[in-house]
Amino acid sequence: MTFEPERLGQSRSDLAEALRGQRKRAGKTQTWLARHCTMSQTKVSNIESGKLTPSLVDVTE
């Protein structure tokens, strides 16, 4: 594995875009997803906008 400084900061936005796209393709709302993931709609929104990275607990529950 090599260190690529130009890629720093892109992984969160890539993850956000992928998660948002998957949710939309499934035809679900952020509110629906939040209820089923036991988190707030605001947290889902922040993850999907790239403002927040989901924690290990968020992705394993």
Question: In this predicted structure, what is the pLDDT of residue 6?
Answer: 63
- Kindly state whether residue 4 falls inside one of the protein's structural domains: no
For tokens 């998660």, name the residue.
Answer: 19
pTM over 0.85: no
Give 58's pLDDT tier (boundaries 50, 70, 90).
Answer: confident
Alpha carbon distance 35, 44 (integer Å)? 10
Give 61's pLDDT tier (boundaries 50, 70, 90).
Answer: low
23, 36 contact by CB (below 8 A): no
Which range marks the domain in which residue 40 is found?
Answer: 11-60
Name the strand (E) or helix (H) holding 49.
Answer: none
Per residue in 2-53, pLDDT (tens digit) is: 556 566 556 888 889 989 999 999 999 999 999 999 999 999 999 999 999 8
Distances (CA, A) of 57 to 11, 32, 54: 19, 19, 8
Residue 46 sits in a domain whose CATH number is 1.10.260.40
Single out the residue of 45, 56, 55 nearest to residue 16, CA to CA.
45
- Kindly state whether residue 2 falls inside one of the protein's structural domains: no
